[in-house]
Structure 1
């Protein structure tokens, strides 16, 4: 637990999503007085399952899309809020440890090592996590959650050196406009944050980088029928993979619920049209060997129609530029400041990490300018590597998708350095299927417990991968291939379904409205 501050401060948080709730947890634990302003309706009574179907979360476009709750987030929960974690288990969340993720042929190799206990995930729908988390936070005596509340802007004045100083929020609730005085204002309002435009209206620019992943992300949820069990975790084909023109994955959840995702490049207009229909989504998913066992008609039933999310971008907002904060007493956390492709499942973990970085910074200093610069520095040090890795994956995915669309192979390496990097990657992909020590290293990166690729500094892992390189790149690359129809075969399958023809000119992303 972070040490309590010398004085209690009044904190205003815009947004009661997972990130905003995590910030409130961390600051409330220090003794601060926290008020959260949330535009969406109050959490309904009932279970998380009821919330999944009935809670209107306009402010969280990803609310019903599947989530991965990685080791980074899970260990923060376990270390700081064990009673909250227990409530998540009681609500149906499942813990999956490293040994549960190993392929059967690797189990004879496995010997527990220190740190393995941190390589675990929670499996459940986001609605379960958010329901339990919201109710837990609302029971805290020093946290108030105001739902059905619209933040209209912030209250500010100017310091002697010309810096903007935030003093609170303007908001409306029940048709009445009000102000709320605060010592600290936190933007946890997610990807739709309006703070940058409010700063712009005061001639204060927020520097931003933005890169489009050029995909649309579709989800459909299902539930196993009574008496039916999940397919084996390690079948002949993986339940997640990349066919270049389509990425896919199965997300097991709570109480027999699971979701399937299909991610399609913007250029794949026919496939994007097809997955908007239940028949089209299921036909595409069942044609992929890694998904097919999950969608046996006698074993499950869909619980939603397919739905999509567009505007998938990597975004980084700089609230400190050249050592000068945009504003004092202000912090942006999670998606409001940093956004990665949800395909990688890193958003909730990054958001919770960001919340704890902020709490530690606030506890460590009472100087507003020092807090702003320290928060920016620590964010850069701890989150930038994850962001960069996600962005690199996006860019590589775009190249693969373009090559698949054009019916060609990716460019051959033109230098030994490039060839070596590709051959090393192929060998690593093969080694991770056969060597527990390599798996353990890859999982540390997967769970965001160390900087991406840090495990490759291990001499043992390096020599293991070099040994696999001796098998030849062709053999290693073959182990990374996942089963599924070729692109033109998938288009032929879709064309044969006889789905309604629809003009998508008014809805170019192909996301169902």
Structure 2
């Protein structure tokens, strides 16, 4: 079997390592942050320092797709997450269904929608514990990679990555180097420095600012609305956490200076209190101040240009390949799907670097790329809405199909299931909309005046809330 190096020991790097190790490859994970995971996962929130992960204590979510893949490829991980204090979430639980849904009969396959989730440090502790005992996997923390080293080309004129050189000068050879370093990956610079042509890279600032506060209490709040709800000048995200915790996030345009008042806890609470379906999420003990995150970059990379790999012996996975606005909470789920794609291609082509690079690119584009592109499209629509409201301009017309899907999902149990599948990375919007039953329900709304959400906070009300 092959020798594989993985640069980055976060959730996706360690899950990738475990999959490949179980296939018999000799896998070494190089993680720049020196601190090992705490012995007790519950201590991870307070004691584990991960400066290499900017969003380590920002909200994260594991979707149904994450559980489905982990149960298939990483048996035992779901149980490990539960032992660490993570919790089951079921959006089809009778207490979570909208009151407008009268058909509450269970459907075959409903169990697939249930998932287990928690805060990022706790999730990563459970994943690290799994990888620590995985066969053929060695984890080296406190080892930072400086550059790629190359060897004999597998394709004429294309550099072949043969390993890495660390900041200490150590050379570590491998048959395949995997970049799992997330949003901060320097892979493009490494590749160009190795003598290769530049990968395709698209990058833009989504212009969102996130204001998050964590709470704790004896009972998790009852979900009476969608996890992510647009409220006009801001959107509100409510997520279940581990060990009797949960979080509330308000995100808005980073260009709207007035919204910076949300850093103040009293202002944050006033605004959340004005959200009728989420106000009760404040009924707990705050365990953090309001945490701010800005400068979230949407970025996409492609390492095959005009049908030709820029390098061989190298692959990027998860956020090192593409990353987006994290409000939908899909990053870890899409990342695990990407890790599964990589593992599957490695099974077929680990001994053929050229075929590996081309097929990994093709499978990434077809199986993972749509999740990225759909999120980018949604981000652009949402920031345009916020900007128009801030400037007192008419709101851009919504996507008519998605607008009808939202309305129909509040009335029909099967359309609602389709919407949840989209949110949980189990299906793409275009696939759900194409289902005959869903298409027929949307057609019933043709020509109808779609209702506006009466709970949306308008511009005048928002100014009053911010001013106190």
Q: Give the TM-score, by structure 1 length.
A: 0.86
1:103 and 2:97 are equivalent in the alignment: yes
Query: How much does 1:411 deviate?
Result: 4.7
Distance 1:269 1:121 in 2: 37
Q: Aligned to 1:62, what secondary structure does the other structure show? A: coil
- Report 1:234-245 matches (<5 A): 234=224, 240-245=228-233
Q: Verify the 8 A CA contact 2:220 2:246 in the aligned structure 1.
A: no
Distance 1:53 1:109 in 2: 44
Q: 1:214 to 1:221 in 2, by over 3 A?
A: same
Distance 2:394 2:179 in 1: 44
Q: Verify the 8 A CA contact 2:317 2:335 in the aligned structure 1.
A: yes
Query: How much does 1:134 deviate?
Result: 0.3
1:436 and 2:413 are equivalent in the alignment: yes
* Partner residue in 1 for 2:45: 52
1:287 and 2:271 are equivalent in the alignment: no
Distance 2:454 2:288 in 1: 27
* Partner residue in 1 for 2:451: 477
Q: Aligned to 2:451, what secondary structure does the other structure show? A: helix
Q: Verify the 8 A CA contact 2:267 2:465 in the aligned structure 1.
A: no
* Partner residue in 2 for 1:457: 434
Query: How much does 1:362 deviate?
Result: 0.8
Q: 1:218 to 1:357 in 2, by over 3 A?
A: same
| More moved, 401-410 vs 329-338 | 401-410
Q: 1:239 to 1:33 in 2, by over 3 A?
A: closer
* Partner residue in 1 for 2:374: 389
Q: Verify the 8 A CA contact 2:8 2:181 in the aligned structure 1.
A: yes
CA deviations on 1:295-319 (whole Å, 9 max, x unpaired) are 13xxx22111222222223211010
- Report 1:158-169 matches (<5 A): 159=153, 161-169=156-164
Distance 1:127 1:177 in 2: 31
CA deviations on 1:25-84 (whole Å, 9 max, x unpaired) are 110110111111111122343433311122111111121111121111110111222322
Q: Aligned to 2:381, what secondary structure does the other structure show? A: helix
CA deviations on 1:217-248 (whole Å, 9 max, x unpaired) are 22111111xxx4233322xx656411231111
Q: Aligned to 1:328, what secondary structure does the other structure show? A: coil
Query: How much does 1:131 deviate?
Result: 0.1
Distance 2:263 2:357 in 1: 44
- Selected match of 2:459 from 461, 464, 487: 487
Query: How much does 1:208 deviate?
Result: 0.7
RMSD (Å), alpha carbons: 2.0
Distance 1:399 1:196 in 2: 30
Q: Aligned to 2:445, what secondary structure does the other structure show? A: helix
Which structure: larger Rg?
A: 1
Query: How much does 1:277 deviate?
Result: 2.9
* Partner residue in 2 for 1:350: 334
Query: How much does 1:344 deviate?
Result: 1.0
* Partner residue in 2 for 1:5: none
1:251 and 2:246 are equivalent in the alignment: no
Q: Verify the 8 A CA contact 1:445 1:454 in the aligned structure 2.
A: no
Q: Give the TM-score, by structure 2 length.
A: 0.94
Query: How much does 1:17 deviate?
Result: 0.7
Q: 1:92 to 1:253 in 2, by over 3 A?
A: same
1:269 and 2:249 are equivalent in the alignment: no
Query: How much does 1:211 deviate?
Result: 3.0
* Partner residue in 1 for 2:149: 155
- Selected match of 1:328 from 312, 318, 332: 312
Q: 1:383 to 1:239 in 2, by over 3 A?
A: closer
Q: Verify the 8 A CA contact 2:409 2:415 in the aligned structure 1.
A: yes
1:302 and 2:286 are equivalent in the alignment: yes
- Selected match of 2:122 from 114, 119, 128: 128
Q: Verify the 8 A CA contact 1:168 1:183 in the aligned structure 2.
A: yes
* Partner residue in 2 for 1:510: none
CA deviations on 1:355-414 (whole Å, 9 max, x unpaired) are 1111110111221000000000000001121111101101111210111011132256xx
* Partner residue in 2 for 1:94: 87
Distance 1:491 1:65 in 2: 26
Distance 1:380 1:114 in 2: 31
Query: How much does 1:147 deviate?
Result: 0.8
Q: Verify the 8 A CA contact 1:221 1:258 in the aligned structure 2.
A: yes
Q: Verify the 8 A CA contact 1:241 1:482 in the aligned structure 2.
A: no
Uncovered stretches (5+) of structure 2, i.e. residues with no partner:
none
Q: Aligned to 1:100, what secondary structure does the other structure show? A: coil
